[in-house]
């Protein structure tokens, strides 16, 4: 039996969780926003007081990937509760002379050493703030925040020789020595 999935998810004050068993959806509402998720048919979700319990029929636990679905559903519910309560944040740092970013409407415009600027569309539910060369991506949905930050980083990955590029602030770039000329 899954040990993670057995543990109930506690609902903190200020967060509302509603389960629609017919549509297999769980709705979350909190100070940072609203989220909704659909869970697998092998799993059952119910709200009891101040906790959410994820259940599964013991007869089908060891069939295929059912145990993984059980634990994953519980982890996704815990992530969503945390997201609507406190939110998630990723910080990116743009390193390069004359490089930068700015927000124009629903787009993040990156100036990262190419002849033209690169536009990255900002998805709904994600908030982007730019302070010179620091880009802060935040929102209640952990997956949307991480995916948008990853798309921005992919536009100009950090390179190991000069250190230029877009990197996460907590990322460490191993620097390499260039070719040595002369004797």
Q: What is the pLDDT of residue 182?
A: 65
Q: List, in order of start, the domains of the chain with CATH numbers.
A: 3-85 (3.90.930.12), 88-168 (3.90.930.12)
What lies within 8 Å, CB to CB, of 148 at 6+ separation is 120, 122, 123, 126, 128, 137
Sign of CA dihedral 148, 101, 116, 114: negative
101 neighbors 135 (Cβ within 8 angstroms): yes
What lies within 8 Å, CB to CB, of 75 at 6+ separation is 4
Distance CA 103, CA 101 (A): 7
99 neighbors 111 (Cβ within 8 angstroms): yes
Q: What is the pLDDT of residue 1?
A: 46
Q: What is the pLDDT of residue 64?
A: 87
Across the chain, mean pLDDT equals: 93
Q: What is the pLDDT of residue 183?
A: 60
Segments in the chain below pLDDT 50: 1
* Helices and strands (H, E) in the chain, number of each type: 3, 13
Q: What is the pLDDT of residue 65?
A: 86
The two three-digit tokens of residue 31, written as one number:
């100070």
Q: What is the pLDDT of residue 75?
A: 95
């Amino acid at each position: 039996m899954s040990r993670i999935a057995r543990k109930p998810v506690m609902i903190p004050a200020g967060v509302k969780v509603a389960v629609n068993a017919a549509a297999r959806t769980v709705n979350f509402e909190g100070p940072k926003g609203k989220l909704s998720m659909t869970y697998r048919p092998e799993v059952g979700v119910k709200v009891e007081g101040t906790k959410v319990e994820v259940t599964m029929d013991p007869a089908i636990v060891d069939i295929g990937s059912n145990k993984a679905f059980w634990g994953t559903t519980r982890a996704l519910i815990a992530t969503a509760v945390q997201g609507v309560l406190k939110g998630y944040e990723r910080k990116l740092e743009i390193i390069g002379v004359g490089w930068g970013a700015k927000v124009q409407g629903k787009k993040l415009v990156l100036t990262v050493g190419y002849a033209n600027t690169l536009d990255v569309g900002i998805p709904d539910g994600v908030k982007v703030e730019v302070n010179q060369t620091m880009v802060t991506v935040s929102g209640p949905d952990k997956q949307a925040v991480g995916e948008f930050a990853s798309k921005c980083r992919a536009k100009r990955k950090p390179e190991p020789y000069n250190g230029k590029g877009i990197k996460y602030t907590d990322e460490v770039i191993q620097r390499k020595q260039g070719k040595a000329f002369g004797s």
